[in-house]
Amino acid sequence: MSQVNAEERVRLIQDVPELGLHRGDVGFVCSTWFEPSTAFEVEFQPGAGSRVRALLMPNQIQKAANAPTN
């Protein structure tokens, strides 16, 4: 996966059922964590008016520069 930065759009590449998120959902990176390992806080809008933030590992997301939002 190429480097992901804050405020970039990313696509979820695996389901996160406990948060109601599904493979293909698109969100925005809010922040990057580097310790104890790299992780990304990503905000998704899976339903009308709802927002979900998830702390995701690099292998769970990919850049989605031109992806439509869900």
pLDDT, position 1: 47
How is residue 16 annotated by DSSP? Answer: B
Write down the pTM of the prediction.
Answer: 0.82
Between the alpha carbon of residue 66 and those of residues 20, 23, 26, 45, 47, the distances in Å are: 23, 17, 10, 17, 21
What are the extents of the domains in the chain?
Answer: 9-63
CB 45 within 8 A of CB 10: no
Confidence of residue 6 (pLDDT cuts 50, 70, 90): confident
8-55 pLDDT tens trace: 999 999 999 999 999 999 999 999 998 888 999 999 987 777 899 999
C-alpha–C-alpha distance, residues 49 and 64, integer Å: 22
Phi, psi of 68 (to 5 degrees): -70, 150
